Structure 1
Amino acid sequence: MKYTILVTGAAYGTQNSSSAFLFCKSLLKTKHILHSVFFYCDGVLNANSMTTPAIDEFNLIKAWQGLNKKYKVKLYVCNSAALRRGVIEDEKTLNVNVVKKGNLAFFFQLSGLMELANSIKICDRIIQF
């Protein structure tokens, strides 16, 4: 089966994201196809590179990045929800050679709800956390 995962909970403070991550790992171990993970609402905070857990805590952001590196799972972040929560990409201003440093973590990519709709269309299941 082909799956899309929708994550709406922040990386820390709720169980949503860590449950979603563990579910994704289980899918991949059982040879299912994980098409993509879409982060929406507070879930976009999973893509904030400025989030730094305590040294003895599980680093969920790095775990998501590892999922992309090892299994090539697409990590989509809702652009509108990210902007409302201060998660931005690097920006270059056209009139001045100034680069604003963004905090979107590596391997996450900003996208719109159309990407989520497309993923739902081509997958057998969508699971929301």
Structure 2
Amino acid sequence: MQFGILVNEGPFNHQAADSAYQFCKAAIGKGHTVARVFFYYDGVHNANRLSEPQADDRNVVRRWSELARDHGVDLVVCVAAGLRRGIKDELLAEGFRISGLGQLIEVGIQADRTLTFGD
């Protein structure tokens, strides 16, 4: 099965980003494909390479980057939501790219299922 994922919450203020990441890992581990993760609203903060959590905390941004690198998952940050929150190309962590809502519509059409994490 091919999944599209929508993440609407930031990495440190809500469980949604962690849940989305864990879902992606589990799905890939079971042989499914995660075609794209689209970060919208405060979810764009998952892409901020300047994020530096404490040493004893999980590094959600790095986890997403590793998922993209190791499994070819397309990580897309909404351009409008990103710019409203100060997230620009030069601040993106490895594996992320900026694009428009068309990328969310496209994965919604192409994927077997699209799941939303966060309000």
Instruction: Return the TM-score normalized by structure 2.
Output: 0.96
**Deviation readout 1:101-129 (Å, 9 max, x if unpaired):** x2111210001000110110011100000
* Percent of pairs with identical residues: 38
What are the within-5 Å matches in structure 2 for residues 61-76 of structure 1? 61-76=61-76
Higher RCO, 1 or 2 (CA under 8 Å, sep at least 6)?
Answer: 2
**Deviant stretches of 4+, over 3 Å:** none
More helix by share: 2
Does residue 1:112 correspond to 2:110, yes or no? Answer: no
What are the within-5 Å matches in structure 2 for residues 7-46 of structure 1? 7-46=7-46
Q: CA deviation at 1:50?
A: 1.0
In 1: Cα distance, 2:91 partner to 2:105 partner: 26
Highest Rg: 1 or 2?
Answer: 1
In 1: Cα distance, 2:108 partner to 2:56 partner: 36
Aligned twin of 2:84: 84
Give the secondary structure class of the aligned counterpart of 1:86: coil
Aligned length: 117
Give the secondary structure class of the aligned counterpart of 1:38: strand
Task: Point out where structure 1 has 5 or more consecutive residues left out of the alignment.
Answer: 90-101
In 2: Cα distance, 1:54 partner to 1:123 partner: 36
In 2: Cα distance, 1:111 partner to 1:68 partner: 16
In 2: Cα distance, 1:122 partner to 1:103 partner: 29
